[in-house]
């Protein structure tokens, strides 16, 4: 298949996306696809390879050539895709613009299949406040929370303390890779962290803080449309108190244990909850659902990742490998089962 691997983008997770995109491009080539890399700059321009990849080192040559490539606008990029008869785009993009439904709708309306999610699933899972509402509606276990939509810290603290005690967690609702998160042990720390996190989106998700073991469980949609839960992974951060950016992406930043050190019954339960969360959030081909396990058996759903990382350190490919799915086979499966392009209704007929 003729596939475009798109990476980079204007979000704070640009650099992680580049690392993921390089891995995916090599895997798509290894799986036998005609692979065209494309780079989305932080400023929103598009830069495209002049040739399909012809060997694994070609992606490195493409990266080196990026400063010299012509910048395209969105219309010209679609012309590029059309001219090379691109059938599928794999948007290896993390965070806002890449996981929130905008890029998915862009390609689907343009008539190009897209890996990952459709517009609805991407938009829901990227917004932690909307995610919370659907988790509560579905009866899934999640932390007590408050939404703050006004900038005054005094008013915010009164609203929070009416429902939550210290410590609690502040989160920017639509950021990923642990950007815009702070654990708040007391009022002084709240006044220090709240203004900058509120400024990111002019709203904040405030959650009850729990001590517990951090685990995650991937979900993959099979060829027949059924959902398969991957082996869960236990995360033990080594450089931070929780699974933040450094713990996620610094080599050796965390011990990531797959399968997780939990009982068979606990494994069955986390996999059941992962699939239920995937369904509740209207997710598509894949997801990675993050959890806390409070002893002995109290689970808390934290959030869903609509496009998990695909770097060499990323959890989702590790979990797939643990159940026998090699990385090129995983990428090939996602391309083969990509979300179809949007086909508008035929309005040529009259009543």
Residue with tokens 């997801």: 287
In a domain, 193, yes or no: yes
- Residue 266 shares a structural domain with residue 283: yes
Q: Give the whole-angstrom CA distance, residue 308 versus residue 287.
A: 7
- Give the pLDDT of residue 216: 98
Q: Give the whole-angstrom CA distance, residue 120 versus residue 13.
A: 21
- Residue 287 shares a structural domain with residue 195: no
Better-scored residue on pLDDT, 249 or 346 = 346
In a domain, 347, yes or no: no
- Domain CATH number, residue 96: 3.40.50.20
In a domain, 204, yes or no: yes
The torsion of the CA quartet 196, 198, 199, 200, rounded to 10 degrees, works out to: 100
- Give the pLDDT of residue 246: 61
Q: Which of 130-134, 175-179, 236-240, 303-307 has the lowest mean pLDDT?
A: 175-179
Whether the predicted pLDDT of 253 surpasses 80: no
- Residue 183 shares a structural domain with residue 218: no
CA nearest neighbour of 214 among 180, 174, 183, 255: 255
CA nearest neighbour of 119 among 346, 343, 339, 348: 339
Q: Provide the pairing of β-strand 181-184 with 286-294.
A: unpaired
H-helix or E-strand spanning residue 305: strand 298-305
- The per-residue pLDDT for range 30-74, each reduced to its tens digit, is 999 999 999 999 999 999 999 999 999 999 999 999 999 999 999
For the chain, percent of residues with pLDDT exceeding 90:
85
Whether the predicted pLDDT of 349 surpasses 70: no
- Give the pLDDT of residue 348: 46
In a domain, 244, yes or no: yes
In a domain, 126, yes or no: no
pTM score: 0.91
- Give the pLDDT of residue 250: 63
- Give the pLDDT of residue 243: 55
List C-alpha distances in Å: 66 to 16, 292, 309, 327. 17, 41, 22, 26
Q: Which of 15-19, 59-63, 169-173, 250-254 has the lowest mean pLDDT?
A: 250-254
In a domain, 345, yes or no: no
Grade residue 179 by pLDDT with cuts at 50, 70 and 90.
confident
Q: Of 208, 225, 246, which marks where a domain is finished?
A: 208
Could you count the other beta carbons within 10 Å of the beta carbon of residue 235?
A: 22
* Cβ–Cβ < 8 Å for 214, 237: yes
Q: Of 187, 208, 229, which marks where a domain is finished?
A: 208
321 Cα distance to chain centroid = 19
- Give the pLDDT of residue 64: 97
H-helix or E-strand spanning residue 292: strand 286-294
- Residue 203 shares a structural domain with residue 217: no
- Residue 89 shares a structural domain with residue 17: yes
Domain span including residue 100: 2-116
Q: Give the whole-angstrom CA distance, residue 346 versus residue 276.
A: 35
What secondary structure does DSSP assign to 18-51, as a single string? Answer: HHHHHHHHHHHHHTT-EEEEEEE-TTS-EEE-SS
- Residue 223 shares a structural domain with residue 289: yes
- Residue 11 shares a structural domain with residue 110: yes
The structural domain count of the chain equals 3
Q: Give the whole-angstrom CA distance, residue 232 versus residue 258.
A: 6
* Total residues found in the chain within this entry: 351
In a domain, 123, yes or no: no
- The per-residue pLDDT for range 211-221, each reduced to its tens digit, is 999 999 999 99
Q: Give the whole-angstrom CA distance, residue 335 versus residue 223.
A: 11
- Residue 64 shares a structural domain with residue 148: no
- Residue 203 shares a structural domain with residue 216: no
- Domain CATH number, residue 155: 3.30.1490.20
Among the residues of the chain, which ranges form H helices?
14-30, 58-65, 74-83, 102-109, 119-126, 128-137, 153-161, 187-201, 245-249, 264-280, 315-322, 327-336
- Residue 254 shares a structural domain with residue 298: yes
- Residue 186 shares a structural domain with residue 222: no
- Residue 25 shares a structural domain with residue 107: yes
Reduced to 3 states (helix: H, G, I; strand: E, B; else coil), residue 309 is coil
Tokens of 97: 């613009």
In a domain, 127, yes or no: no
Distance linking the first and last C-alpha atoms of the chain: 39
- Domain CATH number, residue 236: 3.30.470.20
Q: Provide the pairing of β-strand 227-229 with 168-171.
A: unpaired
């Amino acid at each position: 298949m003729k596939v475009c691997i798109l990476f980079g983008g204007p979000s704070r997770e640009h650099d992680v996306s580049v690392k993921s995109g390089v891995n995916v491009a090599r895997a798509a080539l290894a799986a036998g696809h005609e692979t065209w890399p494309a780079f989305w700059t932080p400023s929103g321009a598009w830069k495209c390879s002049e040739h399909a990849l012809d060997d694994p080192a070609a992606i490195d040559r493409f990266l080196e050539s990026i400063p010299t490539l012509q910048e395209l606008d969105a219309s010209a990029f679609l012309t590029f895709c059309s001219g090379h008869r691109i059938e599928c785009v794999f948007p290896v993009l993390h965070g806002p613009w890449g996981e929130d439904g905008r890029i998915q709708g862009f390609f689907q309306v343009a008539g190009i299949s897209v890996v990952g999610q459709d517009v609805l699933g991407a938009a829901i899972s990227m917004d932690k406040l909307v995610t919370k509402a659907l988790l509560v509606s579905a009866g899934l276990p999640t932390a007590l929370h408050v939404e703050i939509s006004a900038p005054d810290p005094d008013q915010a603290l009164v609203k929070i303390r009416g429902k939550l005690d210290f410590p609690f967690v502040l989160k920017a609702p639509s950021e990923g890779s642990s950007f815009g998160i702070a654990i708040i042990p007391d009022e002084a720390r709240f006044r220090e962290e709240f203004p900058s996190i509120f400024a990111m989106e002019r709203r904040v998700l405030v959650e009850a803080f729990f001590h517990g073991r951090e685990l995650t469980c991937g979900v993959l949609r099979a060829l027949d449309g059924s959902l398969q839960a991957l082996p869960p992974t236990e995360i033990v951060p080594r450089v931070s108190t929780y699974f933040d950016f450094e713990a996620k992406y610094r080599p050796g930043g965390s011990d990531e244990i797959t399968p997780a050190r939990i009982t068979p019954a606990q494994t069955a339960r986390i996999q059941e909850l992962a699939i239920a969360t995937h369904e509740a959030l209207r997710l598509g081909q894949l997801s990675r659902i993050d959890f806390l396990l409070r002893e002995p058996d109290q689970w808390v759903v934290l959030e869903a990742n609509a496009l998990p990382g695909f770097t060499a350190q990323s959890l989702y490919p590790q979990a797939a490998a643990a159940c026998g799915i090699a990385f090129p086979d995983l990428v090939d499966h996602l391309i083969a089962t990509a979300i179809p392009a949007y086909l508008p209704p035929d309005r040529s007929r009259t009543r």
